[in-house]
Amino acid sequence: MMFCAFLGSCLVPFAYLTVLELSKSLPAALLTAFILIFDTGCITLSQYILLDPILMFFLMGAVLSMVKCNSCADRPFSASWWFWLSLTGVNLAGAMGVKFVGLFVVLLVGLNTIYDLWDLLGNLSLSLVMFGKHLLARVLCLIVLPLALYTAMFAVHFAVLNKSGPGDGFFSSAFQSQLIGNNLHNVSIPEHLAYGSVITMKNLRMAGGYLHSHWHLYPEGIGARQQQVTAYLHKDLNNLWIIKKHDSDTADLSDPLSPVEFVRHGDIIRLEHKETSRNLHSHQHEAPLTRKHFQVTGYGINGTGDSNDFWRIEVVGRKTGKLIKVLRSQIRLIHVATGCILGSSGKTLPKWGWEQVEVTCTPYLKETPNSLWNFEDHINPKLPNISLDVLKPSFAEILLESHMVMIRGNSGLKPKDNEVTSKPWHWPINYQGLRFSGVNETDYRVYLLGNPVIWWLNLVTMGLYFLITVCTAVALKRGVQLTYELKELSGVVLRGGGQITLGWLLHYLPFFMMGRVLYFHHYFPAMLFSSMLTGITWDSLLKFCAGFLSPSTTARKVYGGVFLALVLLILYSFYLFHPLSYGMIGPMASDPSSPMAGLRWMDSWEF
């Protein structure tokens, strides 16, 4: 907690320095700092352990060092230039490593760098060799360095987290064998597959699941009304299947005296679900989601089904008659009657399928991991257990796989039906906060809500900034003669403000396109940018006005007066709203006797 709060408070000096660098104006920087110090939302966010303060620390660090590096542009390859450039890279790696939202700041730095390089390219006094050096330096510091750090972070992650845990099922068999405590770590299981073995089958696609079935039927109208077969990411008893011959029953196989018969490449087999005793079955009905594929069901009673339960087992790259190895053999199951291949489409079934993954039989005979499986667990008391030190995946494979799993998990955070979720347009207007703790009147309540005065000030400033930019840009384009100071100032507005606005857009707009569950705190990185913009805009606006008013003492008085008023306003609003972040006890704000009564300016706030 201490740590996060410390990082959270670092945001203030970072923002201060950034604005100072961009605008070269102390009041602007101070205003930004005041805004961040006295914003209840920022305080609440950094006081409690969440990843956001860390993310915002790195993000602001990256922006600051980028800006610093830009201002070193006149003495390239100097020590300080190298320092800031590589620091940008380090911060980028940090931001990306905390949350994927860090990608947006990478985009910001990337665009800035491209602009920078384009500028250098147009500078004819710079030889192409020099330009190549510039390019190389940036590639090194902004691409190679962060990537190296990022992968190093993952290497540490895998090295530290080498124990098995509840999320194992999300990963491939090879990945799992690296985890201590997983049943695949230093496995000792029968090596060759035999009839009568109890097995689990895992799909080979990244984050593919185990072949699974359960006591639930496909709903009315979706193919035949037979038992569901799905792919399930967690380890479960319902993932167990028994391998049987297609023409004889198990009775004789369970007899301990009967000889062991191995399964061979090209054999025709039947897979019986252990819990429900139904056979893996397919037929020419449409699969529930992938309509061009066939439906896969569990069929039959106590292992007696029909000829649609027969599957031919084939190992990739092997010849007929070869034995099938657990874990190592990549197999496919071909439906004998229709010639389709058992596969997992990777699509999530709706509620009736418990949001598990669809399993289909695909008539297109393409070689993709979707239609390849391996055997993971293998239980057969008649066979000797052999220790297998198999499957050493390379680090790159592990890295890729863990990212696939994360991306799938992230996009899986979909809002449920009828759930009221936070919408991106709510955020800048501070429409609704997030309850951190406490619901009832007697609880100690903390409510994440931005200081409304500050947030609305930011919002108004955004409009003001837009107006100022349009005016200055048009004036410059029309060739209006400006004094030296005004030219400087318009440079600050257009270039500095532009960079910050770009940052705000990059950290805000992408949320409109996300399908996942969104929360209010996703806006805070963007809010940092908008606070910095507020500082720059007000400073420039007042200077413009002062410039027009005449450079006398009255102008300076107006300038100082407005700044003082803004700061006092912020201070007063903080005094009003500070209980939001430091905790409230007592009746709800809707009750007139509450200390927060009268402060519930919007009906949607719930403190």
Residue ranges binding other proteins (CB under 8 A)? 118, 121-122, 124, 128, 289-292, 417-418, 420, 431-432, 439, 474, 477-479, 513, 515, 590, 603-604, 606
Least distance (Å) from other proteins to the CB of residue 291? 5
Do the beta carbons of residue 301 and residue 277 sit within 8 Å? yes
3-state secondary structure of 341: strand
Least distance (Å) from other proteins to the CB of residue 513? 6
- Cβ closer to other proteins: 120 or 576? 120
Least distance (Å) from other proteins to the CB of residue 216? 16
3-state secondary structure of 248: coil
The rounded distance, in Å, linking the Cα atoms of 127 and 78 is 18
Q: Does an H or E element contain 399, and which?
A: helix 395-411
Least distance (Å) from other proteins to the CB of residue 432? 6
- Cβ closer to other proteins: 73 or 564? 73
- Cβ closer to other proteins: 97 or 353? 353
Do the beta carbons of residue 253 and residue 195 sit within 8 Å? yes
- Cβ closer to other proteins: 257 or 513? 513
- Cβ closer to other proteins: 140 or 434? 434
The rounded distance, in Å, linking the Cα atoms of 37 and 202 is 52
- Cβ closer to other proteins: 38 or 520? 520
- Cβ closer to other proteins: 124 or 251? 124
Least distance (Å) from other proteins to the CB of residue 285? 13
The rounded distance, in Å, linking the Cα atoms of 80 and 140 is 16
Least distance (Å) from other proteins to the CB of residue 21? 28
Joined together, the tokens standing for residue 149 give: 């750090």
- Cβ closer to other proteins: 265 or 521? 521
Least distance (Å) from other proteins to the CB of residue 119? 10
- Cβ closer to other proteins: 351 or 392? 351
- Cβ closer to other proteins: 12 or 120? 120
Least distance (Å) from other proteins to the CB of residue 588? 9
**Exposure of 39 by Cβ count < 10 A (0-12 exposed, 13-18 middle, 19+ buried)?**
buried
- Print burial letters for 449-483: b (CB count within 10 Å at least 16), e (below 16): bbbbbbbbbbeebbebbeebbeebeeeeeeeeeee
- Cβ closer to other proteins: 81 or 520? 520
Do the beta carbons of residue 475 and residue 56 sit within 8 Å? no
Least distance (Å) from other proteins to the CB of residue 349? 12
Q: Which amino acid is at 110?
A: G
Contacts of 510 (CB under 8 A, 6+ apart): 104
The rounded distance, in Å, linking the Cα atoms of 527 and 62 is 16
The rounded distance, in Å, linking the Cα atoms of 90 and 79 is 16
Least distance (Å) from other proteins to the CB of residue 536? 24
The rounded distance, in Å, linking the Cα atoms of 437 and 50 is 14
Query: What's the start-to-end Cα distance of the chain, in Å?
Result: 24
The rounded distance, in Å, linking the Cα atoms of 141 and 86 is 5
Least distance (Å) from other proteins to the CB of residue 350? 9
Joined together, the tokens standing for residue 180 give: 């201590």
Do the beta carbons of residue 108 and residue 503 sit within 8 Å? yes
- Cβ closer to other proteins: 418 or 552? 418
The rounded distance, in Å, linking the Cα atoms of 37 and 303 is 70
Least distance (Å) from other proteins to the CB of residue 510? 10
DSSP state of 179: S
What is 40-104 written as a DSSP string?
A: HHHHHHHHS--HHHHHHHHHHHHHHHHHHHHHTTTSTTSHHHHHHHHHHHHHHHHHHHH-TTHHH
